[in-house]
Chains A and B, each alone.
Chain A
Amino acid sequence: MALQNCEIAAIRLRLALLRSAYDAVKAGFNADQPRDERGRWNGGRGGTSVVVVRRDRTGHPKIDLTSDRLVELMKEVVANVGPGKGALYGTAIHSETAKQIRDADFPGIGRRGVEQSFSLGDTVRYGLDGSIRTDIVLRDGRTIAAPILAVWDIKTGGAKLTPERAAEIRHHLGVGDDVPIIELHISKGLDAKSYIYALLSSFSIIGLKL
């Protein structure tokens, strides 16, 4: 017997709720934490306002989707960690972001694509002397042999990704200018809001292969 339209709608709604709950668990959402009127954790002290001000696009659907997911995850991290300043605060944001990205197990990043050490085109033991440590690496597949699609570098406050660092990253990853390095940036405005943007650095992309 064919299902009535209302029954189909009810099943769809239930599926959507289940998907939403699953996403929330993966993102580390804890319903018991104190939250503001928009559902963001405020640590019981009024919370931090987080605004996304810029999302650069590469035109590559996988990269752009991952950028979006990372920005949303960072919004949650900044809101959860709460307000602060200084190198330790920035490091705390970085550490929490790394943990959340590992837990989220994004396709093409997984757990290994976070804070991975590279030397001359190969992955090496974490922190090996002479190697370089990347923040987030997206591959076109699950295995370590899959080609690298993009790299994200997280910066806080006034810190910027320098052309020299971008060149070092490319050299050690063994990739060319076609692999974009995207700066995910968290800064704080005069109004104490946190601003997040995904910046595709002008020196980091020349003729992206689609």
Chain B
Amino acid sequence: MSMDLYVFYDGRLPNLIEWQKTIDGHGFDLKFSRDQIVIGEGGLITAKWKTRDVSFEFRPCDFDNLIETYDDIDFGRRWSTTYVFYWSGLPECVAAYIAAVTLAQMRNGIVFDPQDSLILRDQEALRVARENELLLPKIEASLRH
């Protein structure tokens, strides 16, 4: 089952080394696998979040098509680059969120969480990613009962 999260910014996609540096700089424990190259067409990113193997899909998408679907959301302005992140499991959710918010940070972009109809920027986006890290053990524990 896939959940999704969107990132909007202007400019090109950073390479994995730049992206990783930003993730590290914000203190997240997410390490991209080194044997992969990230290209503009997107694909599957594999990584390790803490000790757990995670993967999530990301793809470019058309901003104009997206605003037709989400015509009730104010994206502020037109953005030249849009990527959508898809994931299915709980640790993948945490990892995809970290990747998305740090990508937005690097390019002064925004994050759109369609589940909660939230537009996230700057520190708020980072805060949500950190909250997810803290909430995960509680949610996993509640599902085990």
**Which residues from chain A sit less than 8 Å from chain B, CB to CB?**
81-82, 85-92, 94-98, 115, 127-133, 135, 153-154, 156-160, 162-165, 168
CB distance from B5 to the nearest CB of A (A): 7
- What's the least CB distance linking B36 to chain A, in Å? 8
Task: Provide the residues of chain B in CB contact with A127, threshold 8 Å.
Answer: 44, 55, 57
A95 and B117 contact, Cβ closer than 8 Å, known pairs A88-B139, A162-B66: no
For chain B, give the interface size range: 35 or more
Our count of residue pairs bridging A and B at CB distance below 8 angstroms stands at 102
Contacts of A156 in B (CB 8 A): 3, 115
Query: Which residue of chain B is the closest to A128 with respect to CB atoms?
Result: B44
Bound together, the chains give a CA A129 to CA B35 distance in angstroms of 13
Nearest first, the 6 closest Cβ-Cβ pairs linking A and B are: A94-B1, A157-B115, A158-B117, A159-B114, A91-B93, A129-B44
- Mark out the residues of chain B between 45 and 71 whose CB falls within 8 Å of any chain A CB in the assembled complex: 55, 57, 59, 61-62, 65-66, 69-70
**Between-chain CB contacts (< 8 Å), 23 pairs:** A82-B142, A85-B116, A86-B135, A87-B93, A87-B115, A89-B139, A90-B3, A90-B115, A91-B88, A91-B89, A92-B139, A95-B88, A115-B1, A115-B88, A135-B1, A157-B116, A159-B3, A159-B114, A160-B69, A162-B65, A162-B69, A164-B65, A165-B84
A84 to chain B, nearest CB (A): 8
At the interface, yes or no: B123 with Cβ under 8 Å from chain A?
A: no
Complex Cα distance, B3 from A165, in Å, reads 12
**Residue pair A88, B5 in contact (C-beta under 8 Å):** no
Partner of B114, one of A130, A132, A160: A160
